[in-house]
Structure 1
Amino acid sequence: MARATLVAGGEAPQPDLDSGIITDILWTTAHPGEGLEHIHARTAAGRVDVTFFHRAESPSAALAAAGSICRRALTSSPALRGWQITPSPDGRR
């Protein structure tokens, strides 16, 4: 399991998105080798808290896969233009 928080920047054209839309976007950017099994997203104004459930060899592998999925979604989805990943407590994105 890994968690990520996405936040809408001031230039985000869609600062409030439905959790179903977010999970669909994230699923479309996941690669089969990342072992993703389930995504849960909880939305609030300008913020989405995402929990990823993976078949991963280690917690660090799950975190790396979640980060990769989020970065691909942020760069490929027009709906997420202007959004970003907030840093985790350990400073990684």
Structure 2
Amino acid sequence: MSDKPILRLTVTRLVGPAAAPEVAPQWLTGHLWGQARAEDRLEHVRVRVTPGRIGVALFLLAAEDRGARRSARSICARALDASDELRDWHLAE
């Protein structure tokens, strides 16, 4: 096994009330990019919004899956903390 970073896909879900105002996927994509730090090594973001659920696919450069998942959850947590639009949303377990 190599310690060389490779592109890794992580899928994270945000959950919220079904009656919450719809979040624009383009806005959330930009917001996630804005919360990423250099050490997260974020390469690509895809967002899918449905009532009460947001699917977030993040592609990150990481040496291991665990590190990629940790970075993805950190980016999403920072995005939730930094936005009034997402105040009723949280990371799915």
Alignment of 1:3-18 (within 5 A): 3-9=11-17, 14-18=20-24
- After the TM superposition, list the runs of 4 or more consecutive aligned residues in structure 1 that deviate by more than 4 angstroms: none
How many residues align structurally? 85
> 2:5: which partner in 1?
none
CA contact (8 A) 1:5 1:49 kept: yes
If the length of structure 1 is used for normalisation, what is the TM-score? 0.84
Aligned to 1:47: 53
In proportion to residue count, which structure has more strand?
2
36, 46, 56: which one aligns with 2:42: 36
Residue by residue, what CA displacement relative to the aligned partner does 1:9-55 show, whole Å, maximum 9, x if unpaired? 47x8x531111111111111000111100000011112110100011
> Unaligned regions of 5+ residues in structure 2, if any?
1-8
Report the Cα distance in structure 1 between the residues aligned to 2:25 and 2:54, rounded to whole angstroms. 8
Of the two, which has the highest radius of gyration? 2
